[in-house]
Amino acid sequence: MRTVEWTDQNRVRMVDQRRIPWTLAHVEYDDYRDVALAISDMVVRGAPAIGVSAAFGMALAGIQCTALDVGSLLEYLEVAAVILKKARPTAVNLAWAVDHMMDVARDERLDRAGDVREALLAEAERMADADVAINKQMAAYGAALIHDGDTILHHCNTGMLATVDYGTALGVIRMAHEQGKKIHVLLDETRPRLQGSRLSAWECEQLGIPYDIIPDTAAGYYMRRGEVTRVLFGADRVAANGDVVNKIGSYQIAVLAKENQIPCYSVFPTSTVDLAIPTGDKIPIEERDPAEVRAPYGCAIVPDHYHARNPAFDVTPHVYFSGLVTEVGVLPPPFADSLAAAVRHAQPPVEA
Ligand code: MRU
């Protein structure tokens, strides 16, 4: 199943992740502005999935624009690029994908507007296919770190729903399971949006992976009891020094893992690495509506006027990771060197 795809009617089709696990429903968009809204409202979420959704959004913008000349089409696309990039600020895959689509559109060899439109759609389709291939490659490297009998603590949702298909950290778990390793997964529920209990548990149900949902606050309890042997989570942006920005709560489980001598890994494609940002503290952290804390999915826990804060991500300093899993391999410390080499290897500069 693909989380996001292009339809024959020139629309972007996505799984509506707000409705899982109760209903597997899809939504379709024929306006790139609605794709931007779907990203901010978390109809689609997860760094790789929002990157590819934005790429399809750019292809949609190309088709929506009726301009006959390349110059006017590019002007329209530049506006679309700004709107899509603003949809969520932290995951660099979003900006990376949109900038990449603008580079494709600006290719001087494309001298007709129709050629630009075709190139945009072909590139978005290629990025979607590449995402799946990259995830499987990462999973193969990561699965080698998982042993028979492991209990893996996992945070948020990093599976097929967070990507086009297969997943990053949950993809590693899936591959280890498919290899026949006897593993168990503890899924942090991941408040306030509950990506762990709603989405990761749904995926484990589909795939037959043994799991238990645990309250976020129980992670330390299970680690201290010796019931956790690996900690895995994804990344929304990785700084040049290896600091990882990921779903709120990742930092505390990484610290607890180190305290309890449990190896902790972040799993992400090299498109999540931002070498222009030296450390995690320079990465913008999205603050979401406090209503999500007061009333998750409309279930009021406290009155509307109670004060709340809702940071969507946190920074885990690089010292807490035993390794970083990418499509190029499992990167060892020092991460400043291994990340730069991995990005060079995976994304060689485009020839003029
Ligand atoms: O707010 P979300 O659900 O988009 O946050 C998702 C995460 O933090 C994931 O861990 C990250 O995007 C990696 S998903 C492959």
Asked if residue 135 lies in contact with residue 269, where contact means CB atoms within 8 angstroms, the answer is yes
Residue 6 token pair: 């292009």
Q: Check residue 297 and give left, alpha or beta (phi > 0: left; psi -120 to 50: alpha).
A: left
Is 111 annotated as catalytic? Answer: no
Average pLDDT over residues 134-155: 98
Quick check: CB of 87 below 6 Å from ligand 1?
no
Is residue 303 reached through a cis peptide bond, with omega within 30 degrees of 0 on the bond before it? no
pLDDT at 352: 43
User: Looking at ligand 1, which atom is closest to the CA of residue 45?
Assistant: 4
> What whole-number distance in Å separates Cα of residue 309 and Cα of residue 288?
8
How far, in whole angstroms, is CA 205 from its chain's centroid? 21
Quick check: CB of 163 below 6 Å from ligand 1?
yes
What are the tens digits of pLDDT across the range 14-26? Answer: 999 999 999 999 9
> What whole-number distance in Å separates Cα of residue 131 and Cα of residue 202?
21
> How far, in Å, is the centroid of ligand 1 from the Cα of 162?
6
The model's confidence at residue 347, banded by pLDDT at 50, 70 and 90, is confident
| Helix, strand, or coil (residue 244) | strand
CATH topology of domain 146-346: Rossmann fold (3.40.50)
The residue whose CB lies within 8 Å of the most ligand 1 atoms, and thus the one to mutate among 236, 253, 310, is 236
pLDDT at 17: 98
Ranges in the chain annotated CATH 3.40.50.10470: 146-346
Question: One of 131, 165, 236, 274 is an active-site residue; which one?
Answer: 236
Residue with tokens 């494309």: 110
Quick check: CB of 198 below 6 Å from ligand 1?
no
pLDDT at 50 over 60: yes
Quick check: CB of 162 below 6 Å from ligand 1?
yes
Average pLDDT over residues 148-176: 98
How far, in whole angstroms, is CA 292 from its chain's centroid? 20
CATH topology of domain 4-135: Four Helix Bundle (Hemerythrin (Met), subunit A) (1.20.120)
DSSP string, 209-241: --EEEE-GGGHHHHHHTT--SEEEE--SEEETT
Residue 79 token pair: 């506006």
DSSP state of 347: S
pLDDT at 276 over 60: yes
Which sign, positive or negative, has the C-alpha torsion 165, 90, 280, 347? Answer: positive
Quick check: CB of 161 below 6 Å from ligand 1?
no
Write the CB contacts of 1 (distance below 8 Å, at least 6 apart in sequence): 15, 160, 165
The residue whose CB lies within 8 Å of the most ligand 1 atoms, and thus the one to mutate among 16, 247, 267, 274, is 247
What are the tens digits of pLDDT across the range 301-329? Answer: 999 999 999 999 999 999 999 999 999 99
Strand partners, 187: 154, 213
Residue 152 token pair: 């893996």
Residue 129 token pair: 């296919």
User: Which residue stretches of the chain are H helix?
Assistant: 32-40, 47-64, 70-85, 92-105, 113-143, 169-178, 201-207, 219-224, 250-259, 291-294, 335-346
Asked if residue 170 lies in contact with residue 325, where contact means CB atoms within 8 angstroms, the answer is no
Quick check: CB of 92 below 6 Å from ligand 1?
no
Average pLDDT over residues 170-188: 98
The model's confidence at residue 349, banded by pLDDT at 50, 70 and 90, is low
Measured CA angle at 185 (ends 232, 140), to 5 deg: 55
Percent of the chain scoring above 70 in pLDDT: 99
